[in-house]
A and B are shown apart, each in its own frame.
Chain A
Amino acid sequence: MKINHMMRLGVSVIALTAGAALAQESTDPIKLTLHDWTGQLITTELMGSILQKAGYNVEYVQADYLAQFAGLETGDLHVAMEMWETTGREAMDAATATGKVVNLGPTGMKAKEEWWYPSYMVEKCPGLPNWEALKEPACAEAFATAETAPKGRYLGGPVTWGGFDEERIEALDLPFEVIHAGTDAALFAELESAVQRKAPIMLWIYAPHWAPAKFEGDWVAFPEYTPECYSDPAWGINPDMAYDCGKPFGEIWKVGWAGLADKWPGAEKAIKAFTIDNAEMGAMITEVDLNGKTVEAVVADWMEKNEARWSGWIN
């Protein structure tokens, strides 16, 4: 309780000093969107707390990851804190093309996406994580199910994520078949199911996420991604096809309504300045999803420990 009181006192002092500096900015609430995965909730609440400390009025609105662009374009919503290069690029480009939505720069986190397997599969396919191990028929068979045998089964993300896995399999000549999960919830439901039974599974995992923290496993090491690999067939081990490499590492962007800079110039600067890295975020996601802490508690904890950092962003 005591700490709480002191914190509140601290907040009001900062709010007062900052409030004076922001006298001419709008007092309307800045609307930040919340999606349905923990990392995004943490990022957004961090940003929201920082803006509140700078004296802004903040409101959280629950919105769908992609449907939110309709709101950002009209100015009904103002800031979306996590737009992943790997999954949201097209929607983001369509929105920024209208001129009503702007990219507010990278969050500093990098989206990692790749084929992933639980560690107990190494016994059945000893060459892993090297991708060439997957070419062994015995190894592919270890990952097979009745529907795909003798080919291995690779559970890809929802079709909407793209990812070029069909092309990758063809280019690298892997004896695997892609089955698409419809949502990432379904993806992780299958993972959980397989790990409980120590059953074979090879699937698309992304990070920052709780799954690689909860389950022991590893990413398949494909030839490293370069832009040429996707665009130029001659690049890489298969001279006739593109996509003969791993998946790209992508930025996670912040995007916002174009009117932000006029209405709340100080807030726009703070949002642009905000950065955080994968390790910090991974630790916070683990605290929430696996250790059962609330998002608020984890955010408050971070705010306390990183005061020097965030106060630099709002001045």
Chain B
Amino acid sequence: MRAAVWAAVLGGFWAFAALAQPYMPWAFDWPKALVMPAAKWISAFTKWLLNDASFGLFTFQELTRWISAVVDVPYRFAMNLLSAGTAEVPPLSWLAVVILVALIGHRFGGMRLALLAGACFLFVAVFGQWTSAMITLASILIAVPIGVVGGVALGLAAYRWPWFARTITPVLDLMQTIPVFAYLVPILILFGFGPVAAVIATVIYAMPPMTRITQLSLQRVPQDLRDLGQMVGCSRRQLTWRVMMPSAKAGLMVGVNQVIMLSLNMVIIASMIGAGGLGFDVLAALRRLDFGAGLEAGFAIVALAIALDRISQAMAQERPVSIVARNAYVLAAFVTIGLAGLSAAIMPQLQTYPEAWQLSTGAFWSRVVEWINVNYFDTLEAVKNALLLNVLIPFKRFLIGLPWAGVAALLGLLGWRLQGMRLAMLVMVLVVLIASTGLWDKAMTTVYLCGLSVAVAMLIGLPIGVLAAERDSLWRWVRLAIDTLQTLPSFVYLMPAVMLFRVGDFTAMLAVVAYAIAPAIRYTALGLQGVDPRLIEAGRAMGCTNLQILTRIKLRLALPEIMLGLNQTIMFALSMLVITALVGTRDLGQEVYIALTKADSGRGLVAGLAVAFIAIIADRLIGAAAARARAGLGLGGGGDGT
């Protein structure tokens, strides 16, 4: 019966889309006269905010400048320590840093971690990326703690006060989905041009997953544990910090991982606003089409990411170490610094990593790309053309041809069926807002590009997540691969992709899938690993086959995480729009990029908001569908995933 109703609705929608254009042109193209001059309003508002907003004693800009001065203090310190040095004291030598990192690794994770962390940093030195890497590291060391602490604080507040959760969720969506280019110019004016502004932009982008996952992890703490805490007489503060936080640790650490990964992902954009470092080297290398140099700088970013991530993960599972040993580590650190400083004074090779000891892949990668290009271009071209002509272009045409009025009605109906009037209103208002800015075509191009990419990413990511969740050795490799995909600047593989596939949607889609697949895998695996083993045992005892255990127990219980993974896959795909604009797509990302080049902050933010609206619509509808699915399965508790 319900199927029949939906069939009728879709039929009506199709008829409307196909036939109504001659009679109701306004439903297809938003009338030009009615386009909201939102860009102008926003430009005027930012101008006011930047120049005139005042709290009486001081202006808004003075406040933000003060914040950046505060952040600048630890940044300067880290920078002097790692890279610049002061007039009297040189910075830590490369040898000292490598040994220190290995020591920290040993302290928290034993010999294995010591070797891994040391090797990562040595890799950076050997490939001649040391100077830039230390500049990048200095800003990451400032951005990550701010992101983690801020994210946990917001997540905790959202967990405690439902009204706060309702307020913060859209803000988080905006933070994560408005392309950075859209608010780059206001940030530069408010926080000054330089590394600190880059740190702040990084935090804005990298914090939301931490907040979301804090909230989710806290909600998933079993009720009996909470009850137990209350029974033994914990105060509210004790309950939070002694009971809830420790038992939510696994989830929180995924959040920390995400903050590190996303911060390093921002390295390229940060380098455009004065942060310098590895991101700058990647951009400069690719402008020369020196793929080898770009790849080396890119992998230096990955090496930093892996070392930082593995150390922070180990810190969370703190190894019991005696007071004596703890002091021994501190002592060893100082001895290292002292000795390294002395030996560097005698042998300058130990201060600055000498060029003669460096390795480089040189032109090797350029030759690999050339070889593929010369030998296989025609094959690749045939495959690409087939996909373009049969899948991509028809889907794009279909979406662009849809009338906004029909889409609003259809999505509204969907929202109403899934959750009720409120959701229906929200979805419809957002669709109409997008249409009213006159950006409907570009918005639909965005939906087409990201929609296809998300579908492909989920199709590949889910099975990999399921496979890897139970096999520790496989999971280790998969994790390495997705950490690499998430931190290796997409530019590094985008330019070879342009050589093989030309500029256009196909190349853009490859880049989006490569980046957005990471959360699809990560959250699936996290969810499956978190399933209570007792339930699996119970299932086995009742004679379930492995397949049944997977489909009937694990996947269902892991649904909140998988849905969060889908949410994040969509968010990641949308956040790649800035990059896709760089290979010539005609979507909202391009609109943002044009606005940046014209220094038109209003236009950029309007396009950015349109991106965010698409994200919110997708998120809310998927969230509602998931909630219904769960309710249908009788899985009430466990918290709302999105």
Chains A and B form a bound pair: yes
Q: Give me the interface of A with B, judged by CB distance under 8 Å.
A: 34, 36-38, 41, 61-64, 66-71, 73-74, 76-77, 90-91, 94-95, 145-147, 155, 158-160, 179-186, 188-190, 192-193, 196-197, 199, 210, 289
User: Which A residue sits closest to B286, measured CB to CB?
Assistant: A185
- A190 to B185 Cα, complex, angstroms: 31
Q: Are A67 and B596 in touch, CB under 8 angstroms? A: yes
Q: Are B584 and A62 in touch, CB under 8 angstroms? A: no
- A37 to B286 Cα, complex, angstroms: 10
User: Which B residue sits closest to A76, measured CB to CB?
Assistant: B193
B195 to chain A, nearest CB (A): 9
* Known contacts A62-B276, A64-B273, A186-B583, A192 near B499 by CB under 8 Å: yes
B385 to chain A, nearest CB (A): 5
Which residues of chain A are near B502, meaning CB under 8 Å?
Answer: 145, 190, 193
B140 within 8 A of A: no
* Known contacts A63-B274, A71-B274, A190-B503, A95 near B599 by CB under 8 Å: yes
Closest 7 CB pairs of A and B: A71-B193, A70-B188, A64-B272, A193-B499, A76-B193, A160-B597, A182-B584
Which residues of chain B are near A190, meaning CB under 8 Å?
Answer: 498-499, 502-503
- A90 to B499 Cα, complex, angstroms: 31
- A160 to B590 Cα, complex, angstroms: 9
- A185 to B271 Cα, complex, angstroms: 17
Say which one of B5-13, B85-93, B370-378, B403-411 lies at the interface with A. B370-378
Which residues of chain B are near A62, meaning CB under 8 Å?
Answer: 271-272, 274-276, 280
A212 to chain B, nearest CB (A): 14
Q: Out of A37, A67, A189, A199, which one reaches B185, CB within 8 Å? A: A67
* Known contacts A185-B289, A193-B377, A91 near B598 by CB under 8 Å: yes
B196 to chain A, nearest CB (A): 10
Q: Are A74 and B193 in touch, CB under 8 angstroms? A: yes
B32 within 8 A of A: no
Which residues of chain B are near A91, meaning CB under 8 Å?
Answer: 597-599
- A73 to B385 Cα, complex, angstroms: 47
9 A-B residue contacts at CB 8 Å?
Answer: A36-B280, A61-B193, A63-B274, A91-B599, A182-B584, A185-B286, A188-B289, A193-B377, A193-B498
Q: Give me the interface of B with A, judged by CB distance under 8 Å.
A: 184-185, 188-189, 192-194, 271-276, 280, 283-284, 286-289, 370, 373-374, 377, 381, 385, 388, 491, 494-496, 498-500, 502-504, 580-585, 590, 593-594, 596-599
Which residues of chain A are near B594, meaning CB under 8 Å?
Answer: 159-160
Q: Are A196 and B374 in touch, CB under 8 angstroms? A: yes
Q: Are A182 and B273 in touch, CB under 8 angstroms? A: no
Q: Out of A41, A67, A155, A189, which one reaches B499, CB within 8 Å? A: A189
Q: Are B274 and A70 in touch, CB under 8 angstroms? A: no
* Known contacts A94-B599, A159-B590, A180 near B584 by CB under 8 Å: yes
A286 to chain B, nearest CB (A): 12
| B192, B596, B599: most-surrounded residue (chain A CB, <10 A) | B599
A29 to chain B, nearest CB (A): 12
Which residues of chain A are near B593, meaning CB under 8 Å?
Answer: 158, 160, 182
- A158 to B583 Cα, complex, angstroms: 9
Q: Out of B189, B193, B276, B284, which one reaches A68, CB within 8 Å? A: B193
- A232 to B73 Cα, complex, angstroms: 57
Which residues of chain B are near A94, meaning CB under 8 Å?
Answer: 598-599
| B193, B502, B580: most-surrounded residue (chain A CB, <10 A) | B193
| A38, A68, A70: most-surrounded residue (chain B CB, <10 A) | A70
Which residues of chain B are near A145, meaning CB under 8 Å?
Answer: 502
User: Which A residue sits closest to B589, measured CB to CB?
Assistant: A182
| A61, A68, A189: most-surrounded residue (chain B CB, <10 A) | A189
Q: Are A36 and B193 in touch, CB under 8 angstroms? A: no
User: Which B residue sits closest to A290, measured CB to CB?
Assistant: B288
Q: Are B193 and A70 in touch, CB under 8 angstroms? A: yes
User: Which A residue sits closest to B580, measured CB to CB?
Assistant: A182
Q: Out of B189, B274, B385, B584, which one reaches A186, CB within 8 Å? A: B584
Q: Are A182 and B385 in touch, CB under 8 angstroms? A: no
Q: Out of B189, B288, B494, B498, which one reaches A210, CB within 8 Å? A: B288
Which residues of chain B are near A63, meaning CB under 8 Å?
Answer: 193, 272-274
B393 to chain A, nearest CB (A): 9
- A155 to B275 Cα, complex, angstroms: 32
Which residues of chain B are near A64, meaning CB under 8 Å?
Answer: 272-273
User: Which A residue sits closest to B193, measured CB to CB?
Assistant: A71
Which residues of chain B are near A74, meaning CB under 8 Å?
Answer: 188-189, 192-193
Q: Are A193 and B500 in touch, CB under 8 angstroms? A: yes
- A196 to B498 Cα, complex, angstroms: 14
Which residues of chain B are near A183, meaning CB under 8 Å?
Answer: 582-583
Which residues of chain B are near A186, meaning CB under 8 Å?
Answer: 494-495, 498, 503, 582-584
Q: Are A185 and B590 in touch, CB under 8 angstroms? A: no
Q: Are A146 and B385 in touch, CB under 8 angstroms? A: yes
A35 to chain B, nearest CB (A): 9
Q: Are A77 and B193 in touch, CB under 8 angstroms? A: yes
Q: Are A37 and B582 in touch, CB under 8 angstroms? A: no
Which residues of chain B are near A77, meaning CB under 8 Å?
Answer: 193
B465 to chain A, nearest CB (A): 31
- A55 to B193 Cα, complex, angstroms: 25
B596 to chain A, nearest CB (A): 6
User: Which A residue sits closest to B590, measured CB to CB?
Assistant: A159
- A192 to B495 Cα, complex, angstroms: 11
User: Which A residue sits closest to B186, measured CB to CB?
Assistant: A70
Which residues of chain A are near B288, meaning CB under 8 Å?
Answer: 38, 210, 289
A228 to chain B, nearest CB (A): 26
A41 to chain B, nearest CB (A): 8
Q: Out of B275, B370, B377, B504, which one reaches A179, CB within 8 Å? A: B504
- A37 to B499 Cα, complex, angstroms: 20
Which residues of chain A are near B377, meaning CB under 8 Å?
Answer: 193, 197, 199
- A56 to B419 Cα, complex, angstroms: 67
A261 to chain B, nearest CB (A): 20
Q: Are B283 and A36 in touch, CB under 8 angstroms? A: yes
- A38 to B286 Cα, complex, angstroms: 11
Which residues of chain B are near A38, meaning CB under 8 Å?
Answer: 284, 287-288
Q: Out of A68, A69, A185, which one reaches B495, CB within 8 Å? A: A185
Which residues of chain B are near A41, meaning CB under 8 Å?
Answer: 284
Q: A37-B287, A159-B594, A180-B503 are in contact. List 8 more A-B contacts (CB 8 A).
A: A66-B596, A90-B599, A160-B598, A184-B287, A192-B499, A193-B499, A193-B502, A210-B288
